[in-house]
Amino acid sequence: MAPSLTPASAPSHRTAGVWSAPGRVNLIGEHTDYNGGLALPIALPQRTTATVRPRTDGVLHVTSTARRDETVVVALDEISPTAPGGWAAYVAGVFWALRKAGYAVPAADVHIASAVPVGAGLSSSAALECAVAAALSDLAGLDLLADDTGRARLADLCRVAENEIAGAPTGGMDQSAAMLCRPGHALRLDCRSGETTHIPFDLAAHGLTLLVIDTKAHHALVDGQYAARRHTCEASARTLGVDTLREVTPADLPAALDRLGEPVAQARVRHVVTEIARVDAFVDALRGADFTTAGLLMSASHASLRDDYEVSCAELDLAAATALREGALGARMTGGGFGGCCIALVERDRADAVGAAVVSAFRERGWRDPTPFTVTAARGAGRER
């Protein structure tokens, strides 16, 4: 059913304001979203803000604190995969996706400021999209922030924007995290059914913390590597006669690998199937406060991403290995890979020492200093003022 249209000129909703959305860390369940699988992200305290003021001329103006001398201007009717292009496509794409879905949203002046590191694999793009989407929901009176159903709708439209306008073939986990996460909880996201479950995630109560290590190895999703892996998975699913790799269970895996035959496809499918299984094993470990098992699952995930999915890099591998050597219960790369961040489950009073050891290891290699920091599970998108 098409959504009911809210006139862009509705005066009761045309108030400028500031909205924000968080970056995310995925605890486990990497490269599973576009395979119909499971993921377990948390929202970060670091957020992207969008200051939005409606316009009546049908023209979008976008500025950013990161690009002080640049204003991107594009008519709403002219937004496409080539216009405006660049970083502003993530903003313009949200307007385009909402309008394509039948929502009447106004043109606007949009100013972006962000504390989510760009290129770190913490989903700065989804934070940007979801902050803008939250603003448009309020400004156009769409009321999509009121419950998880509406928030899931916005998250999916942000995914469409990123796929079709920004040109990044992401699977939707990042946008779901930015929209749906709750403080003190991880989000168990079933990417096949869309079902979400909020899992308590209070490491401090157990003397633990989550250490994020930004390796400063630049991460990008539009250079073809991400798309190539998605293509291999989709082709493998067709070969196996299933809609997505979610339909392949661990018990089915040996026969599925024999049927595929080709070594790269076998490795990619092996990662996806075992990673989906690790998500619920990790959830069970959290519910039972079994953090030793949770840590082992994180490390197994990293090994699978490194060896079978081949999306790690030397910086991520060194960060994970050093954290484990310094006593972390588990460590893994997080995000799309090819750079970005590593996360480690550590005793709270050891976090500084573990972070310092990683910095020292990078310096020994002559690499740029990484940035370690601890995080807690934060809230999803919403209005700030």
Determine whether 174 is an active site residue: yes
Q: Are strands 107-114 and 330-334 parallel, antiparallel or unpaired?
A: unpaired
Are residues 227 and 68 in contact, defined by beta-carbon separation less than 8 angstroms?
no
Listed in order, strand segments (DSSP E) in 116-231 are 185-190, 196-200, 208-214
Residue type present at position 373: F
The DSSP annotation for 205-236 comes to GGTEEEEEEE------SSSSHHHHHHHHHHHH
Check 33, 174, 214, 308 and give the catalytic one.
174
CA distance 319 to 317: 5
CA distance 313 to 333: 9
Which has the closest alpha carbon to 336: 188, 174, 186? 174
Quickly tell me which residue has 């670091």 as its tokens. 46
**For every residue of 253-320, which 3-state class applies, written as one string?**
HHHHHHHHCCHHHHHHHHHHHHHHHHHHHHHHHHHCCCHHHHHHHHHHHHHHHHHCCCCCCHHHHHHH
Q: SS3 of 329, please?
A: coil
Phi-psi region of 7 (alpha: psi -120 to 50; beta: other; left: phi over 0): beta
Quickly tell me which residue has 């308590």 as its tokens. 200
Residues sharing a CB contact under 8 Å with residue 335, sequence separation 6 or more, in sequence order: 26, 30, 120, 121, 122, 123, 219, 341
CA distance 145 to 129: 14
Which has the closest alpha carbon to 109: 123, 95, 121? 95
Catalytic residues: 174
